[in-house]
Structure 1
């Protein structure tokens, strides 16, 4: 059967082309492509023996250890669909995912056995440790149609219940291929740090699948810690780092305490807007440029990224990747897509090979966001004359103060230039006079008062943009993908 029809073909091909090349490093483990593929096929055979059939869904609750990719590719090799489960979910939340997908069983790392067993019991399915799956490898694996579902990612559920975004084999193989060979030019000599959670679409596609699509090495960090990440990158000769802005902030803060810094060739940022001061500080300390990109679970995830061969522009998320279109549409016209001229801000819409199959068993929700073949992202952006896309903010995060729109990401970028501010999140809180007032939630890096923050904002921002309220925290609430949970801050402060 043709390996290229399945996402599992990414690992199968490298097992054939580079059997002895080290694919995976985790702790003391160093596993070659052929051996990793043998292990995955062995688990696939065990899944088939357990009755798992093509197209059935198998959930996976596992941290960034060798068990994750082994079980991930085993599920795919068996012809089944992977349902990654967020590690921070409670048992009832995980049970919801299992029930919503109709998962056949749950593969759960021993570290999360308590949550996994409770969730599986509630859903009426078996919970198994992937290390207990072992049998003789099957001589081949179950091939799938390119449009068949491969992975179901659950959205964060900021409004309503979380929804499962169904991505096809074609979506994910193409995304891995384009990221590896068109956007970033990855090669077998590259070594990437797998610090992004693999249950998340960014870590799974860009760190794991794209790295192995190019035959490169992946060094796993089970849980991100900035100081340990620097030590690990130096020790393993890592030259590639994929992260979100909070991770880059952590590396900046840890760099001053490190005995040695890694020599990085490729750094990619996504999942949230990267403030300009963070980019500039990182590049000064590490001597490496950050290529900021943009995407969502529904777009597999990469839609745009700064690509050196197309030109890069700090502060933007670059150009669409090969085979993908990203344009600006009127956000107020919902029943059709009305594209806006260059230079006008509006909703970012995306179409191409990366567009998901739809939300699992939710045709109405799918129809609300896929219009005329375009996916409505819910993000505000603008394209310049050179085709660079700049994100303004999430539509739902825009603050309307006295009738004027205020974009939190712009305010955050300005405040982060203050030497006394390490991290900041800007949100809108209810106000009797202006409808919403601007509140800056600050993690200080040194002595700084609320009055100083307000005065700094007043000096560098328009009158309707600077914060009138400042709250201090020792840390900001982060989700499983290290994004700041602004909805949690709004809940606390409203």
Structure 2
């Protein structure tokens, strides 16, 4: 098994002049340039005393320098611990202390978190600047440190919705398998060009997008911070063959691209969507407007972001996230761990080479979610006869109103059909009579005037009475995480007070 950084050595020799990365300012990095900087950084890390298996905290946005640091850490045989650029010093200190990092690499425009963390941990701090001139002075780059498939490559800390965040250990084998699966499913080749505004510290942007593109020898255009206008500008400038994002991005692009037609996006083959369920209305509208298919997928940090996908050339079923990727197995099970027949809702389990090694220094937590090689995802879903998976929500987000199960995703799918709704999130709110009440937080398009009573009347024509949101909060914007995914845990019962 090769170190994931080996791909850069291969491409630098075979196609040195091919563009590997482009930033939002239009600066291009060839595979030769990327290789040389990665090799030099790896040498600098070795000379500074970083040893194979050491953990290095990396805090940087979606810029080419992230890739240099990430693969440089791997080439040195060390483990990259990637963290959200919006993390506070307190959060970074927890991650760094828990992982036992030997060094901190931080984007020089992020202040003061990474530097303060290094000081508190009493480890060196290396600021990352544009081009990384101060970090690539290593004298003997050599080749990447040899690694095994089960050697940890990266530790990604979960969001910590319950308890303290846990570090999911993803191996070089996990990363390689994820890239191979996605390349096969979406027919990604060295001739492709990808556009992404996803953060690279997150598993989706890091493993499913960046590492897949690099393993294929393709090109990747990076937008450090998503705006629909910025994404459209890069669509026209770089003419990608595919792009990757989350549903909120596709919805925002649809509104921003008014007046443009498929002929304006020649060559765009498909858009890969993940992070949350994609409403069917958005899928159809995007395909009509941009002239490309939206291929939805599903995975978790603990499965290297991979699990299922709408595969190129296979019929897509709106409301599903596709079938198991090649090499993965998806089963739906009840609370007693018995596999359920097609059509029945239960907890989704994933097995295959993308399933994590385990949580860093958390054997009990690892044992709770890993059983016989299967990961218990905590998500609820059902499979159809063709193997396509439908997600109905998180097990902990299931709303039980008066004894009836209400799956938030099903209600959200209907709400997104309303012409004035741009964002929607359905949650359960404690209720003395029903146990839980169905609540919906809604963001509407500019200029729209939608009331809760109007939305309830509209929803009653399309949903069973017990599924209709009886508590509705209309807000300017819903809270989102770093990938643009709506954060339901930030939608508290207080938002709906006085809105019955």
TM-score bin (small chain): over 0.9
Give the match for residue 113 of structure 1. Answer: 111
**Matched residue, 1:177:** 180
Unpaired runs of 5+ residues, structure 1, are none
Show CA shifts across 1:392-425 (max 9, x none).
Answer: 1111111111111111111111011111211111
Shift in alpha-carbon separation, 1:165–1:452, aligned structure 2, 3 A:
same
Q: Which residue of 2 aligns with 1:140?
A: 143
1:154-193 map, 5 Å: 154-180=157-183, 182-193=184-195
SS at match of 1:350: strand
Q: Distance in 1 between matches of 2:270 and 2:289?
A: 15
How many residues are treated as equivalent by the alignment?
486
Contact 1:191 1:240 in 2 (8 A): yes
Alignment of 1:375-414 (within 5 A): 375-414=375-414
1:199 Cα offset (Å) = 0.4
Give the aligned partner of residue 22 of structure 2.
25
Distance 1:437 1:19 in 2: 59
Q: What is the distance in 1 between the residues matched to 2:397 and 2:14?
A: 47
Which residue number corresponds to residue 327 of structure 2? 323
On the 8 A contact 1:10/1:209 being kept in 2, the answer is no
CA drift of 1:257 comes to 6.3
Q: Distance in 1 between matches of 2:69 and 2:21?
A: 14
Q: Which moved more, 1:52-61 or 1:436-445?
A: 436-445
Alpha-carbon separation, structure 2, partners of 1:99 and 1:257: 51
1:262 pairs, out of 261, 265, 277, with 265
After superposition, the C-alpha distances for 1:157-180 in whole angstroms (9 at most, x for unaligned) are 110011000011000011111211
TM-superposed CA distance for 1:207, in Å, is: 1.5
Shift of 1:316: 1.0
Counterpart residue number, 2:62: 64
Q: Is the 8 A contact 1:230 1:262 kept in 2?
A: no
Partner residue of 1:44?
42
TM-score, normalised relative to structure 1: 0.96
1:7 alignment partner, one of 4, 11, 14: 4
Question: Cα offset for 1:373?
Answer: 1.8
Contact 1:8 1:73 in 2 (8 A): yes
- Which has the higher mean CA deviation after the structures are superposed, 306-315 or 424-433? 306-315
Contact 1:294–1:317 at 8 Å: present in 2 too? yes
Distance 1:139 1:354 in 2: 29
Deviation at 1:480, TM superposition (A): 1.1
Query: Once the two structures are superposed, what CA deviation does each residue of 1:255-301 show, in whole Å capped at 9, x if it has no partner?
Result: 11669843320211111111111112211211111111100011111
Q: What pairs up with 1:362-377 in 2 under 5 angstroms?
A: 362-377=362-377
Using structure 2 for the length normalisation, give the TM-score. 0.95
RMSD value, Cα: 1.5
Q: Where does residue 355 of structure 1 map in the other structure?
A: 355
1:439-478 to 2 correspondences below 5 Å = 439-445=439-445, 446-478=448-480
